[in-house]
Amino acid sequence: MTIRLHVWGERACFTRPEMKSERVSYDVMTPSAARGILEAIHWKPAIRWHVDRIHVLKPVRFQSIRRNEVGAKASAANARSAMARGTTEGLGLVVDENRQQRASLVLIDVAYVVEAHFTMTDRAGPEDGAAKHISMFNRRAAQGQCFHRPCLGVREFAAEFALVPEGAPLPPSELPDDKRDADFGWMLHDIDFAHGNEARFFRAQMRNGVIDVPPFASEQVVG
Amino acid sequence: MSTPVTNRHEFVLYFDVTNGNPNGDPDAGNMPRLDPETNLGLVTDVALKRKVRNYVSIASDNRIYMSEGSTLNLLHKEAWTAVMPPVAKADDYKKLPKEEAKARELTAWMCSNFWDVRTFGAVMSTGVNAGQVRGPVQFSFAKSVEPILPLEISITRMAATTEKDAEEKGGRTMGRKHIVPYGLYRVHGYVSAPLASHPVKGTGFSEDDLELLWQALGSMFDHDRSAARGEMASRKLIVFRHQSALGNAQAQSLFERVRTLRAYQGVAYEIGSEPYYASTDNWPPARLWEDYRVSVDRDNLPPGIEIIER
């Protein structure tokens, strides 16, 4: 039971893990980001989404954006001591003193079709039928409902989405003929949350505009 | 505290700038940001969030976590003295479920005490996994409705900074200002209700907070005057309120109902439409809010959608 979701947006940033401080996006959407979009529409601990295929509908184009960002994270230790004191006195983070200017190389004008299915996890109860979850997802995606607004890699780049109903043709691809086959090299597949949040990678190859994503547990996925 | 928000929202905000720089680009010597392919002006999401935070901190009693000014180090010392005794165990925080509950408590406390944490979220991790808070409110980049023309204005100053300058340049120095003569910008935003009211993931972002957010979007430029900004003003806020938490219509279909028209001598064409391109050749450039019209299509609204204009 495969679902197909058409997602698109003006910008996207699927950050390469090796280039995080000055963010550089992968050329295409990662399976991990695609899973996040599906989970934004429908997810329960009872199910796990698996991305099977990613169709790339538009040529890959980059643009650089430099922004002032904050170079610190909120300190949990400070928050704890403030809780103990019962006052928020001095918990703020001073942005002017924690400035970092960072450039991001982001994708512009992207559109994909994500093909995915889900499996039941061991947290599924007797009330969790696959049919129930599939129809919930389809109903939400068709009506534009979502748990939270899905995004294309980072939250400032919101994703628009539409369900591609069963049997309906895929949205037309704008990839030129000489760009339909590409080797994107090693790309993040997903994070292995069961084993210490390790990143795992796969060889992303596009054939005729489609990237086949190997199953997370297969031998083609290395960590 | 009123109740957490249980309706999904999308909003469109129009704001304009006259003879000012709405958002400088550090990569381009602080020129107004441009999309190099279309020459449309940009204002980043973070620039707008900064203004919202600043407005909320002066217009209400809410505290803001990501603040400007004040010193951190003193407070760090304070925190250290308060935390030092029990912390001989940096690694203890990482995996115990007990601590996870503690972390959740911590997150909840931060949310209830800081307006911007419960609105936009925050990353709280300094070796202690207090997790991340995803806030319900999400902004995208603001984009001008037509290409903008950044101008570089040279200015002079009748004083010099150093004695050397004073001798060499006769006591005068030159500077530069970048301005946009006029630009109307449009930004889209989202409020994801479950992230406000969900029992586990919700930040407790309430209806009062939402009202404050709308207020901030309307008035944030009135309290952000500076030499660089010129005249900026929020012009129109159109909010789509869904009846349910998950939403009753596709966001893009709602955004498409809001159209920007360019008006000249009583004629208005939708920007980006064919007749618009064909007829604007001999029009003077837009220099006023009155040169634009915003139309909101209210026909055949999907059931459960309410349009609020402010």
Q: State pLDDT tens for residues B205-244.
A: 999 999 999 999 999 999 999 999 999 999 999 999 999 9
> What pLDDT band is residue B266 in, cutting at 50, 70 and 90?
confident
Q: Which helix (H) or strand (E) holds B164?
A: helix B163-168
Element (H, E) at B166: helix B163-168
Option in B117, B192, B248 nearest A148 (CB): B192
pLDDT score for A39:
96
In DSSP terms, which residues pair with B134 in a beta bridge? B121
Tell me: the pLDDT tens digits for B155-203?
988 887 777 777 776 777 888 899 999 999 999 999 999 999 998 888 9
Tell me if chain B has a CB within 8 Å of the CB of A39: no
pLDDT tier at A119 (50, 70, 90 boundaries)? very high
Position B185 scores a pLDDT of 98
Q: Is the pLDDT of residue B154 over 80?
A: yes
pLDDT at site B75: 38
Whether residues B44 and A77 touch (CB distance < 8 A) is answered with no
What does the pLDDT read at residue B227? Answer: 93
Confidence of residue B84 (pLDDT cuts 50, 70, 90): very low
Q: How confident is the model at residue B125 (pLDDT cuts 50, 70, 90)?
A: low
Whether residue B136 lies within 8 A of chain A, CB to CB, comes out as yes
Beta-carbon contacts of B195 under 8 Å, excluding residues fewer than 6 positions away, are: A147, A148, B134, B135, B136, B201, B202, B203, B205
Average pLDDT over residues A46-72: 93
pLDDT (average), residues A152-160: 95
- Interface membership of B1 toward A (CB under 8 Å): no
Q: Which pLDDT value is given to residue A117?
A: 95
Write the pLDDT tens digit of every residue in B47-73: 999 999 999 999 998 888 877 654 333
Share of chain B above pLDDT 70, in %: 86
B253, A93: Cβ pair inside 8 Å?
no
Q: Residue A48 above 60 pLDDT?
A: yes
Enumerate the residues of chain B whose CB falls inside 8 A of the CB of residue A95: 50, 66-68
How many beta-carbon pairs below 8 A join chains A and B? 176
Q: How many Å apart are CA A50 and CA A32, to the nearest integer? A: 9
Higher pLDDT, B92 or B244: B244
B90 touches chain A (CB under 8 A): no
Chain A closest-CA separation from residue B164 CA (Å): 31
Asked if A100 reaches chain B (Cβ–Cβ under 8 Å), the answer is no
Q: What percent of chain A has pLDDT over 90?
A: 69
Instruction: Give the integer Cα–Cα distance in Å for B260 and B95.
Output: 52
> From the list A70, A140, A144, which residue is nearest B251 (CB)?
A144
Task: Grade residue B272 by pLDDT with cuts at 50, 70 and 90.
Answer: confident
Angstrom distances, CA of residue A196 to CA of B100, B118, B152: 16, 28, 52
With a cut of 80, say whether residue B262 has pLDDT above it: yes
Alpha helices (runs of H) in A16-143, residue ranges in sequence order: 31-41, 76-85, 130-143
pLDDT of residue A128: 84
Among chain B residues, the shortest Cα distance to A87 is held by: B113
Spatial separation of the C-alpha atoms in residues A4 and B65, rounded to whole Å: 40
Band of pLDDT at residue B46, cut at 50, 70 and 90: very high
Interface test with A, best of B31, B109, B256 (most A CBs within 10 A): B109
Asked whether the beta carbons of residue B75 and residue A146 sit closer than 8 angstroms, the reply is no
Question: Which runs of consecutive H residues, i.e. helices, occur in B63-114?
Answer: 73-83, 97-113
CB of A218 less than 8 A from some CB of B: no
- The model's pLDDT over A79-112, given as tens digits with 9 standing for 90+, comes to 888 888 877 777 777 887 778 888 999 999 999 9
Query: Could you tell me if A114 and A37 are in contact, meaning their C-beta atoms sit under 8 angstroms apart?
Result: yes
**Per-chain mean pLDDT for chain A:** 91
Judged by CB atoms closer than 8 Å, whether chains meet at A96 and B69 is answered as yes
Contacts of A151 in chain B (CB under 8 A): 138
